[in-house]
């Protein structure tokens, strides 16, 4: 990776096992200053364990971790205790101290500085986060959103060099989640604190991050901006993680791959003649009349469901064993059994070599 600035956090080939079960295998990643990075992957893919290892809550078994170019963790004895790492952590369940009020919760990490400065830090933080009125309340008296803000304030108070967030919004209901997420990210951005955030929600990852790292099967699968990952997925798994997909088999023919719905131009060589063509459901297009340039395969509507501005459609095509799914933004006047013409948007079409079983 070529970057001008030095990474705040560098993870170098770490591996981790729980007993016999391997959780992480040879994973490396970097977090640059002011960068928000999302670790995205299905539940149980070891994302939270990575955060816990970085924070020092789990002992590193193999590899190296650097913070500001200094080794903080290896599998040897030069292991820095979690309390000396200056890494903030917001847990999924927040873990606010139930016996302390909001003020004492936030001040908890400020024990080493003098009273005056402590007061200043506290005041500026609660004003920024908008929780100045909650100081004397106890955690169980707060709403979900308020608890979230307090947990963030508490982790930010000691001015950590890096912030780790472990699925911090997953316990909030949908509407509140969006609001709190936006607030949190804007606070972290304005604080210039680099962030490593774990989530299993691809939309969340695309909305908040500068960079997404996809984790699956103990390993890093792909790394890049949300655009990169959405439009240039490395494999079927990554493609399917962001939306529903249709899978067709295709045949390589010089600079083109031909499949049921037409042809896709290619600019690289494939080792096999037979490949898989993956089309996102939002990439499948349908029309009531035939149009040779795009809509040239005939199909029959098997089901239609209108949800908000979207229209979810399943289409039957003669000779194709599966129904084709489409997620349309321009609603069509169709019902079950309507005859339609089907095409696709090549931006949402991806070619992969067939995976060996």
Could you list the residues that contact other proteins (CB under 8 A)? 55-59, 81-89, 91-99, 108-109, 111-112, 138-140, 154-155, 157-158
Q: Pick the closer one to other proteins by CB: 41 or 88.
A: 88
- In angstroms, what is the minimal distance from the CB of 107 to other proteins? 10
Q: Which is nearer to other proteins, 71 or 100 (CB)?
A: 100
Q: 138 or 310, CB closer to other proteins?
A: 138
Nearest to 238 by CA among 248, 226, 250, 249: 226
Q: How far is the CB of 14 from other proteins (least distance, A)?
A: 17
Nearer to other proteins, 88 or 299 (CB): 88
Choice between 29 and 155, CB closer to other proteins: 155
| Measured CA distances, 297 to 240, 274, 315 (Å) | 24, 21, 11
The nearest distance, CB 77 to other proteins, in angstroms, is 11
Q: How far is the CB of 171 from other proteins (least distance, A)?
A: 10
How near is the Cβ of 24 to other proteins at its closest, in Å?
17
Report the nearest approach of other proteins to the CB of residue 95 (Å). 4
Closer Cβ to other proteins, 41 or 56, answer by number = 56
Q: Which is nearer to other proteins, 105 or 222 (CB)?
A: 105
Query: How far apart are CB 98 and other proteins at their closest, in Å?
Result: 4
């Amino acid at each position: 990776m070529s970057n001008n600035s030095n990474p705040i956090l560098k993870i170098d080939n770490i591996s981790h096992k729980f007993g016999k079960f391997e959780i992480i295998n040879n994973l490396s990643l970097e977090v640059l200053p002011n960068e928000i990075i999302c670790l995205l992957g299905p539940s149980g893919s070891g994302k939270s364990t990575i955060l816990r290892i970085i924070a020092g809550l789990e002992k590193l078994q193999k590899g190296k971790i650097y913070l500001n170019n200094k080794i903080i963790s290896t599998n040897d004895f030069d292991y820095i205790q979690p309390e000396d790492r200056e890494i903030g952590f917001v847990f999924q369940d927040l873990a606010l101290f139930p016996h302390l009020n909001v003020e004492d919760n936030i001040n908890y990490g400020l024990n080493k500085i003098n009273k005056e400065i402590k007061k200043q830090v506290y005041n500026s933080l609660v004003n920024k986060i908008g929780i100045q009125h909650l100081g004397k309340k106890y955690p169980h008296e707060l709403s979900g959103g308020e608890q979230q803000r307090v947990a963030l304030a508490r982790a930010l108070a000691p001015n950590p060099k890096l912030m780790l967030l472990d699925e911090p919004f997953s316990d909030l209901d949908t509407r509140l989640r969006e609001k709190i997420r936006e607030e949190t990210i804007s606070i972290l951005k304005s604080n210039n604190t680099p962030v490593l955030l774990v989530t299993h929600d691809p939309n969340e990852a695309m909305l908040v991050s500068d960079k997404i790292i996809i984790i699956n099967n103990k390993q890093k699968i792909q790394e890049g901006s949300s655009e990169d990952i959405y439009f240039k997925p490395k494999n079927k798994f990554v493609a399917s993680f962001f939306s529903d997909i249709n899978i067709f088999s295709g045949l390589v023919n010089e600079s083109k791959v031909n499949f049921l719905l037409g042809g896709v131009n290619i600019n690289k060589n494939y080792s096999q003649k037979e490949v898989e063509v993956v089309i996102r459901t939002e990439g499948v297009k349908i029309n009531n009349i035939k149009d040779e340039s795009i809509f040239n395969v005939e199909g029959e509507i098997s089901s239609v469901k209108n949800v908000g501005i979207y229209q979810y459609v399943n289409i039957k095509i003669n000779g194709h064993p599966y129904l084709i799914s489409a997620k349309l933004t321009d609603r069509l006047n169709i019902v079950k059994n309507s005859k339609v013409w089907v095409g696709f948007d090549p931006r949402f079409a991806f070619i992969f070599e067939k995976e060996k079983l």
